[in-house]
Structure 1
Amino acid sequence: MPFLLVFVSVLLCAGVSGKTVTGQFESEAARQRSGQFISTFMFRGDNGLLVCRLENSPLAAEKESKLLLYEDSESDLENLSCSDRLRRAQFKILLTKDEHNLTIPHQSSPTAWRVWYADRYTCQESSFIPAHPSLAFTVLMLNSDSAGNPLDHFSAEQAGLISFYFLLLLSYFIAGCIYIQPLFHALRKGGPMHTALKVLTTALILQGCSALCNYIHLARYSRDGTGIPMMGSLAECWDMVSQVSMLYLLLSLCLGWTLTRGRKPQSGPLQWERSPTSTAVALGGVITLGVLLLWEQFSDSDHHSFHGQQSAAGLLLLALRVILTLLLASVLYTITSTERSTLKRDFYLCFTKGSVLWFLCHPVLFLMSAIFDEHQREKVVTIGVILCQSIAMVILYQLFLSRSLYWEVSSLSSVSLPLTMSRSSHRGRY
């Protein structure tokens, strides 16, 4: 759909911040905000290291430049005066040399720290700021690796994600080698579920592309703390298009079949029946989801596929998923309650499980993440949502391609259909 092309053009313009931060210390920016914000990093507890490198250390010494570190739990910093904020810093690094190293002391649990810059002009609102050359810097924030050396660029809430994406890609590759040929034959045969299978396959491929882009970005990030920002943006883009494609598929199947049911008989369950009403509802849901996804991306400066849902867009997105779950469940309940065929009823119930799992996993995991520590919440949501949605896709594939149910749907039978739910000992019956 043309609307989906907006994702690519917008997201490629969005930046992705890393934990190797380069830029310029600006006295004017520090004065306006009572300090220039540099970055946030969650140190795991032992052997954490902050490194600051300057290109003009004499100028930094002349301006009395310094880095300030605050625990992220210090939420009342905005309400403090400039001088009080500078005094509240737990650590201060006077920038007088080309390179400064600060070892973070032992912490009982992972703690997020915010890094700010200030100088002699920060709290002097009436003083004139001389025209100095730019003060370029590079700040590295490192956790300890498996050997205990401070070489790990990943913040505590990101640790382990690269291994997860590697295993996910490996699973996709193995499943693709096993099922790509029979799935291709099934798609070539056509039938009433042909469009649904194409959309489902497209959504799965997009999810795989998102995982691949995330892995490439994180693999580079592990070496330099910056990664490949374009790959991170592409991962978000593919994930959003996959989400929208699945929403269009599920709404079209449920609403299209239900709204046309009274006008003509159905030869099989959940055929793709188009009507103006069903198309309007499906497109309305797709556009709403797309707008909220884009809004959420711009509400969070740190871009990743599943956000902390602390913005209004994130909360509305969760609410939309719950509403869609209730809508699909009510539609499928109406279908199931009036269906006399036990086989078709089982088909609808299994379809309901896959649909509900796809939409409801994100809100449920977001609520469950509250019981975990802060550094584990993002990983719980990210890994949990991807696994649940992958399981939902497998459920739908099994449902659409199973020989025993496909006979009822399309009046066709084939021993070559993949992902069958019937046992091999029963193959002779078909």
Structure 2
Amino acid sequence: ENGLMAYRLENVPLAVHKEAKLLLFQGMQGFENLSCLDRVSAAQLTISLSTEEHNQTIPRQARPQTWHVIYADRYTCQEEELAGVQEDVGFQLTMLNPDSAGNPTDHFSAEEAGLHSFFFLLILAYFVASCIYMQPLWQALYKGGPMHTVLKVLSTALFLQGLSVLLNYIHMAKYARDGVGTPLMGNLAEFCDMVAQVQMLYMLLSLCMGWTLSRGRKSQIKPLQWDSSPTSTALAVGGVVTQGALLIWEQFEDTEHHSYHGYHSVPGLLLMVLRVSLTLVLASVLYQIISAERSTLKRDFYLSFAKVITIGVILCQSISVVILYRLFLSRSLYWEVSSLSSVTLPITMSRSQRGRY
């Protein structure tokens, strides 16, 4: 399939008078050592700027190539100074890559190919998951219980992730038609995704640090609840504030706003270091919890929790949140029964008292 390059001239007579043209190059090795005339003659493709609008087909390449475009006219290689002031030729240039179907008018670059379809399938997956889990989730939230706080956090994070996907899809759908899209939708999608990430991080740090730092003094009657100790709260808030600051810094550093980033900037690299460090900390904490836990059911729960978090980091956050829903809902009844069994009932008799009868 061929690519497409389109230009629009602002002043056609001026461009014709100056014999304006566009020179396209692929390899720029040794370009600086060539003379002006050699550079003009070395162009692989020359496009004359002689009409108001023109679409130029770019020949198909065996593998992806980078095209360099240089403007030239009849005065480009003249060494003597030009008499009088020469007006510049204004033009607008658009280069379009073909998609898998050979259509170059979708306006998606190579790294964005398939995003439109991906977000559509993701929205469909969110809709199907909502239809399946909405009723049991609402019942669990209405009933309360030891998992109530965690389920509320997961619900908010999943809602923000779904909203981010919807806003991205709207932006991509408009971008596929006009090549501009709706930048406001893209920025809102980034914001929702950032808030969801920060909220999930706070939940993980609060749960894991709460389980570890206050294991000896936390009441076993209230498992899986936010820990109120100053140490764990400070660690959770510190991690959240640091990640939030780096995310905002990265948004300002990246001129092309989108929900995915290459992490080539300083805040992006610091964000990667922070996430790797937090991953190691959480893995160490979960290992300590699993090693010290005597209950087989609780140990299985912690192992499942660790596996789901790994899926969220490596594969897909959305899938991991849905699996966490099932995990917490399935274990909620066990935690309630376990909490009830640890309470001393009023009618319980000790062995010494029973020995008297």
Is 1:50 matched up with 2:5? yes
Percent of residue pairs bearing the same amino acid type: 57
Pair 1:127–1:308, CA change in 2 (3 A): farther
Whole-angstrom CA distance in 1 between matches of 2:35 and 2:312: 48
> Counterpart in 2 of 1:411?
337
For residues 226 and 125 of structure 1, the distance between their equivalents in structure 2, rounded to whole angstroms, comes to 42
2:144 aligned to 164, 167, 190, which one? Answer: 190
What is the Cα deviation at residue 138 of structure 1? Answer: 5.2
Larger RCO: 1 or 2 (CA < 8 Å, sep 6+): 1
Q: What pairs with 1:395-410 in structure 2 (closer than 5 Å)?
A: 395-402=323-330, 405-410=331-336
Distance of 1:349 and 1:99 partners within structure 2: 63
- Indicate conservation of the 8 Å contact 1:350/1:395, yes or no: no
Q: How many residues align?
A: 337
Aligned to 2:229: 275
Does the 8 Å contact 1:257/1:271 carry over to 2?
no
For 1:160, give the aligned amino acid. G
Paired residues of 1:357 and 1:389 also in contact (CA < 8 A):
yes
1:111 partner SS: coil
TM-score, length of structure 1 as denominator length? 0.69
Rounded Cα–Cα distance in structure 1 between residues aligned with 2:38 and 2:296 = 69
Q: CA deviation at 1:315?
A: 2.5
1:143 corresponds in structure 2 to 98
Indicate conservation of the 8 Å contact 2:153/2:199, yes or no: yes
CA distance in 2: counterparts of 1:112 and 1:162, whole angstroms: 24
Is this contact kept in 1: 2:145–2:332, CA < 8 A? no
Q: Does 1:303 align with 2:257?
A: yes
Kindly state the Cα deviation for residue 229 of structure 1 after the two structures are TM-superposed.
1.6
SS of match in other structure, 2:57: strand
Q: Is the 8 A contact 2:146 2:223 kept in 1?
A: no
* SS across alignment from 1:168: helix
Tell me which protein shows more strand as a share of its residues.
1
* Deviation digits for residues 219-276 of structure 1 (CA, Å, limit 9, x no counterpart): 1111122221222222222111111111111111111222222223323543222222
Q: Which runs of 5+ in 1 are unaligned?
A: 1-45, 362-384, 414-430
| Cα distance change of structure 1 residues 59 and 411 upon mapping to structure 2, 3 Å threshold | farther
Mark the CA change 1:136 to 1:103 in structure 2 (over 3 Å): closer, same or farther.
Answer: closer
Query: Normalising by structure 2, what TM-score?
Result: 0.82
Matches within 5 A, 1:147-226: 148=102, 150-226=104-180
User: Which one of 241, 245, 267 corresponds to residue 313 of structure 1?
Assistant: 267
Change (3 A) 1:325 1:151: same
Q: How far apart are 1:144 and its partner, in Å? A: 5.6
Alignment partner of 2:278 out of 299, 324, 328: 324
Please state how far the C-alpha of 1:99 moved relative to its aligned partner. 1.8
Larger Rg: 2
Q: Is the 8 A contact 1:145 1:152 kept in 2?
A: no
Correspondence for 1:24: none
Partners of 1:204 and 1:242 within 8 A in 2: yes
Which runs of no fewer than 5 residues in structure 2 stay unpaired? Answer: 340-357
